[in-house]
Amino acid sequence: MYVVVAGAGQVGTLIAQTLLDEGHSVAVIESDKKKFENVESLDVLAVKGNAASPAKLREAGINSADLLVAVTGSDETNIIACVIGKSKGCKTVARLSNADYMKEGAETGRLDIFSIGMAVSPDMVTASQITEMLLLPSLVESGKLSGHAIIIELRLTDSSKAIGRMPASLGLPSGAIIGSVTRHDAVIHSDNAGEFRPDDRVIMVLNSKELVANVETAFGVPPGNGKAVGQRLETGMHKIAIVGATRMGIQVAKSLENDRIVMLIDSCQDKCSKAAEELGSTLIICGDATDSELFDEEGIQDAGALVAATGNEEYNMLCCLLAKKWGVGKTLAIVDDAEMRQLFEQVGVDVALSPRMMTVNTIIQQISGKRVSSTITTMQGSGTKVMEVLVKESLWMVGKEYGQLKFPRNAYVGSVIRGGKIIVPTKFDIVRAQDHMIIFLSHESLKKVEKMFSHHNRRGLF
pLDDT tens digit sequence for 192-243: 889 999 888 888 888 877 788 788 788 876 544 333 323 333 344 678 999 9
Over range 391-404, report the average pLDDT.
Answer: 88
Quick check: 64 pLDDT over 50? Answer: yes
User: In the CATH scheme, what architecture does the domain 358-452 have?
Assistant: 2-Layer Sandwich (3.30)
pTM of the model: 0.68
The predicted-structure confidence for 330-349, as pLDDT tens digits, reads as follows 899 999 876 787 788 778 88
Two domains, one topology: 2-120 and 358-452: no
Across the beta sheet with 141-144, what order do the strands follow? 141-144, 150-155, 201-206, 176-183, 186-188
Angle value at C-alpha 199, between 198 and 202, nearest 5 degrees: 105
Dist CA 308 CA 310 (whole Å): 6
Supply the mean pLDDT for the chain: 83
Residue 401: which pLDDT band, with cuts at 50, 70 and 90? very high
| 120 CA to centre of own chain | 13
* pLDDT tens-digit map of 99-136: 777 765 555 666 777 888 888 888 888 888 888 777 66
- Report the phi/psi class of residue 324: left, alpha or beta, with left for phi > 0 and alpha for psi in -120 to 50: alpha
Cβ neighbours of residue 365 closer than 8 Å, sequence gap 6 or more: 375, 376, 377, 378
* Phi and psi at residue 176, to the nearest 5°: -120, 115
- What is the spatial distance between Cα 95 and Cα 103, in angstroms, rounded to a whole number? 14
Q: What is the pLDDT of residues 78-106, one digit of tens each?
A: 999 999 999 999 999 999 988 777 765 55
**H helix intervals, 88-137:** 122-134
DSSP assignment of 21-59: HTT-EEEEEE--HHHHHHHHTSSSEEEES-TT-HHHHHH
Strand 385-390 relative to strand 374-378, pairing: antiparallel
Domain ranges of the chain: 2-120, 239-353, 358-452
Whole-angstrom distance, CA of residue 271 vs CA of residue 236:
29
Check: CATH 3.40.50.720 for 239-353?
Answer: yes
Confidence band, pLDDT 50/70/90 cuts, at residue 1 = confident
Contact 19, 3 (CB under 8 A): yes
Asked if CATH classification 3.40.50.2300 holds for the domain at 2-120, the reply, yes or no, is no
